Chains A and B, each alone.
Chain A
């Protein structure tokens, strides 16, 4: 593998990616420990497991108003509150809260950190007792997990919270994969499902992007074979490059043009004054600066081995594969009401993938709604201000409640 280092990839600047980052703190997150653990798809029995979660709103007496939100790849359970690590507001605060489209005055909202994650649920950074009896993180010895394993862990949490049937399961991107997995693994556990900006399998192009990200991490000398904690470092540069590359795929050409165009600014490496030495990078494009910022802020909250674990889980995701390649068979006789949403400028999970899903659901005679939201914001549109999307989420959930007689 060829991975260039040196000046062309030197990223240190006002957002240093090189060395200042100390290993992530695990911190304490609300969680439930399941001592019996989980039988993983790979055959390994992982025990015990922790599932970290947040909840909002109140569970009704009949327990019929719970909505499970599945977070995307690098998201976490802090949907609608200030993040304890980053201090930023919740990743879906504009969608979830009192009076919001997913109204916490009405619904009891649950979101858990995925298995394999790094925000309190069991993952590569969790400690385990090794053969010598000492405690050490799993690192790359963490068993390979699947989207279905994540969903099984969520099922344990939902059951432990005393919920017999969810009102809805909602999620975008990798969260949407979990939503689809829920509908085929536990079809009678929910009334409705909203898979958003997602696909029934991970495409070759998306696997390719994931692989570039993984190789960037592995190529970082600080990755140290996945045991970076032993040297008290993190592979910050590799992880930042992975994030920068991935971040491009979450946007669109129009969005990048609108936000940055070809505007430039003085680069941080250009010396003290305007007369500084001329170099390749004395001026940098604003889009470069933006990506560097995205990369450097990411490494402060995300674990590199989690990145490897979770991207691999996404790569293996293929709903049809477990049903002899027949997507329709996976949804046969499903009682779930679906609302599939795609975004017109999303090229990571394009509308064509959503349409294939909708056709399979139609073929299975499922009750399905399908909306493509017109936007230039790309894949990330599901996290951003899209009034039509908000109306769709609110209206669909209200419609389901009305049909179920829950009004």
Chain B
């Protein structure tokens, strides 16, 4: 399990109901079931990964964030998790709304487009920046909705979501030290991780 998946697992209360959107190989939900007693389920787009997960006894359905969340009832889960995917969905704001409709909490991680390397490369080269995190050419990238940490916070404010926790994380998933200043985190954090709650939720 990646280090940031451990950080996510630590955000989740034991014994709760969890939906992991984009559950991949199912490591997080498997961990949540085995070590935290959670009723953890997954949605995954890649059918090979779905089959592998189900063959490991994990409750995973084939589906995607943009189309399948609308079919879940309100308040069905305590946590809805979306790892490193928000920038790749067709309608990020709608996906967040759905997450906080069906879940009491949303846990969202995404690559931070405000990282200093990206800013510098764009400034110096005048070309779309390519880094270890953003490594696909603009015409091929699935990351159609990149945003910065400050962009995301603005959206949360606009939508009225309470940010319970946030942290900058480096590419390996290690927690980065920029926890006091959002501006510094936005400059130096490669990935961002948020725990949100709907207001009054």
Q: How far is the CA of A110 from the CA of B57 in the complex (A)?
A: 23
> Of all chain B residues, which has the CB nearest A356?
B71
> Which residues of the partner chain A approach B33 to less than 8 Å between Cβ atoms?
403
B73 touches A369 (CB 8 A): no
Q: How far is the CA of A391 from the CA of B11 in the complex (A)?
A: 33
Binds A, one of B58-66, B78-86, B178-186: B58-66
Given contacts A358-B61, A371-B50, contact A363 B55 (CB under 8 A): no
> Of all chain A residues, which has the CB nearest B47?
A372
Instruction: Give the number of A-B contacts (CB < 8 Å).
Output: 68
Which residues 13-57 of B have a CB within 8 angstroms of A?
A: 33, 39, 41, 47, 50-51, 53-57
> Shortest beta-carbon distance, A328 to chain B, in Å?
8
A396 within 8 A of B: yes
> Which residues of the partner chain B approach A400 to less than 8 Å between Cβ atoms?
57
Chain B interface residue count, CB cutoff 8 Å, equals: 22
- State which of B39, B59, B71, B72 has its C-beta within 8 Å of the C-beta of A369: B59
A359 touches B59 (CB 8 A): no
A392 within 8 A of B: yes
> Shortest beta-carbon distance, A22 to chain B, in Å?
47
> Which residues of the partner chain A approach B71 to less than 8 Å between Cβ atoms?
359, 362-363
Which residues 345-378 of A have a CB within 8 angstroms of B?
A: 358-359, 362-365, 367-374
B76 within 8 A of A: yes
A392 touches B51 (CB 8 A): yes
B72 touches A362 (CB 8 A): yes
> Which residues of the partner chain A approach B55 to less than 8 Å between Cβ atoms?
388, 391-392, 394-396
> Shortest beta-carbon distance, B33 to chain A, in Å?
8
> Which residues of the partner chain B approach A324 to less than 8 Å between Cβ atoms?
none
Q: How far is the CA of A374 from the CA of B48 in the complex (A)?
A: 9
- State which of B62, B73, B76 has its C-beta within 8 Å of the C-beta of A371: B62
> Of all chain B residues, which has the CB nearest A358?
B61
- State which of A362, A370, A395 has its C-beta within 8 Å of the C-beta of B56: A395
Q: How far is the CA of A362 from the CA of B54 in the complex (A)?
A: 16
A368 touches B59 (CB 8 A): yes
Chain B residues with a Cβ under 8 A of chain A: 33, 39, 41, 47, 50-51, 53-63, 68, 71-73, 76
Q: Sorted from nearest, which 7 A-B pairs have the closest CB atoms?
A: A399-B57, A395-B55, A391-B55, A370-B61, A359-B71, A365-B76, A369-B54
19 other contacts beyond A369-B58, A374-B47, A388-B51, with CB at 8 A cut-off?
A339-B54, A358-B63, A363-B72, A365-B73, A365-B76, A367-B41, A367-B59, A368-B59, A370-B61, A370-B62, A371-B47, A371-B54, A372-B62, A373-B51, A391-B51, A392-B51, A395-B56, A399-B59, A402-B57
Chain A residues with a Cβ under 8 A of chain B: 337, 339, 358-359, 362-365, 367-374, 388, 391-392, 394-396, 398-400, 402-403
